[in-house]
Amino acid sequence: MRAIAVDVDGTLTDRSRRISTTAIEAVREAEATGVPVIIASGNVLPVAWALHRFIGTSGPVVAENGCLVSHRGVNHDIADSEPARRAFEVLSGRWGLKRLFTDQWRRNEVVFETVPFLDEIVA
């Protein structure tokens, strides 16, 4: 096996977003056998990178739903943020959407708080 990629939400964490120590132990066992583990998350790079650092994985870190890859101190932007930012400006002007707190650290995506009228927005 050349590498293992693990998602964070629902894989390394439970439904309440608490880290599973059993999952962390399995990741560390894989690393101990020489198999690099890649942390993959929809979350921002600082969160994904911190997990990579604290767990002790050696593979790249994939953040923002694949829009950003970080490896050996070099960040690679996979997507252009401008279309998402323009779309958010239009949507927020029309529906008053608010960005998530962690969105201030996003480089390539825009994420907003869940709203009760989301069905109307996507229709």
Q: Which residues are catalytic?
A: 7
Distance CA(95)–CA(116), nearest Å, equals 11
- Pairing mode, if any, of strands 61-63 and 68-71? antiparallel
Q: State the Rg of the chain over Cα.
A: 17
The 3-class secondary structure across 51-96, one letter per residue, is HHHHHCCCCCEEEHHHCEEEECCEEEECCCCHHHHHHHHHHHHHHC
- CA atoms of 22 and 114, how far apart (whole Å): 31
